[in-house]
Amino acid sequence: MLEVGRVVKPHGLKGDVIVDMVSNRPEQRLVPGGVLATDRGDLEVVSSRPHQGRWIVVFAGYVDRDGAESLRGRVLLADPLDEEGALWVHELIGAEVVDLAGRAYGPVEAVEANAASDLLVLADQQLVPLTFVVEHADGRVVIDPPDGLLE
């Protein structure tokens, strides 16, 4: 399961909570009737709406501020969405990076968020924008970088 968000704090008196989403598909994760897993059991979404860069969410069974307070800090987990061509960070970490000519650049150490395009962080700390990834499978990422990017 992937971390898709975290409950930040209660909002108001009726059980609403502020959720900081790390998923790029919050509208799919927070649909009414959707279920998110936590370390203390599943939470069913009753309603959600965007609010100042975060989300206000109501979970089934949490009807007052005390209940909402008990959710503070809880990590929200979900299965990966089934999207063709999607890149998943957990699949990229550790994958060997090669270019179209077969030149190896080492493993992906991390994926760094960036406004223009998320970046693959290679073992030697070089950065490769995800826009240059042409395929990925079986622990291997093939890139087509422009001349001069990885010298």
Structural domain that includes position 34: 2-78
pLDDT of the residue at 44: 98
Q: Do both 14 and 55 map to the same domain?
A: yes
| Mean pLDDT value of segment 113-139 | 89
* First-to-final CA distance of the chain: 36
> Does a structural domain hold residue 84?
no
* CA–CA dist 80, 13 (Å, integer): 33
Q: Does residue 81 carry a pLDDT above 80?
A: no
Query: Which DSSP symbol is given to 127?
Result: E
What CATH number corresponds to the domain at position 96? Answer: 2.30.30.240
pLDDT score recorded for residue 115: 83
Q: How many domains does the chain have?
A: 2
Final residue in a domain of this structure, among 35, 51, 78: 78
CATH number of the domain where residue 7 is located: 2.40.30.60
CA 78 from centre of chain: 10
User: Is the pLDDT assigned to residue 150 strictly greater than 90?
Assistant: no
Shared-domain flag, residues 6 and 74: yes
